[in-house]
Amino acid sequence: MRIIAMPEDPDQTEPLRNPSSGFVAYVPVGSLARGEALVTTGGERTVACDICHGAMLKGAGTVPAIAGRSPSYLARQMHDMKAGTCRGPGSALMTPVVEQRTNDDLVAIKRVRLVADAVVRAAGSAVD
């Protein structure tokens, strides 16, 4: 299972390096629905993310926003937290979230960005 991120417009990405030209993440079939379930309910192996990451996953207090982050960044952070190599002041809170998840779960959860985008669109505002 993996994610492949491609530029929306290769000419804008390189050589123009236009910061407002985006990327499209291609993910395994089925991972969108699975990720949405894990993010919103926790399924049987994790905890719903908005409890700590706030409404629309835009952050709450010292807990960082995860809405709008790139799928590969989210996955790397969660992989490293699970492996114990990424430690911040609040990492202990994420331990129960990541410890029982499989790599397939982590790929599915990368969809958190799209889930959050959809939630925000439904609410009529934009993801930062």
Residue 110, interface with ligand HEC (CB under 6 A)?
A: no
CA distance 81 to 32: 22
Query: Nearer Cβ to ligand HEC, position 15 or 89?
Result: 89
Figure out which of the listed residues 1, 6, 33, 93 binds ligand HEC, where binding follows CB under 6 A: 93
* Phi, psi torsion values for 68, nearest 5 degrees: 80, -5
Residue 67, interface with ligand HEC (CB under 6 A)?
A: no
Residue 39, interface with ligand HEC (CB under 6 A)?
A: yes
Residue 62 Cα distances to 35, 40, 117, 121, angstroms: 24, 21, 21, 25
Residue 97, interface with ligand HEC (CB under 6 A)?
A: yes
Figure out which of the listed residues 15, 19, 89, 124 binds ligand HEC, where binding follows CB under 6 A: 89
Residue 109, interface with ligand HEC (CB under 6 A)?
A: yes
CA distance 112 to 69: 9
CA distance 7 to 49: 28
Residue 94, interface with ligand HEC (CB under 6 A)?
A: yes
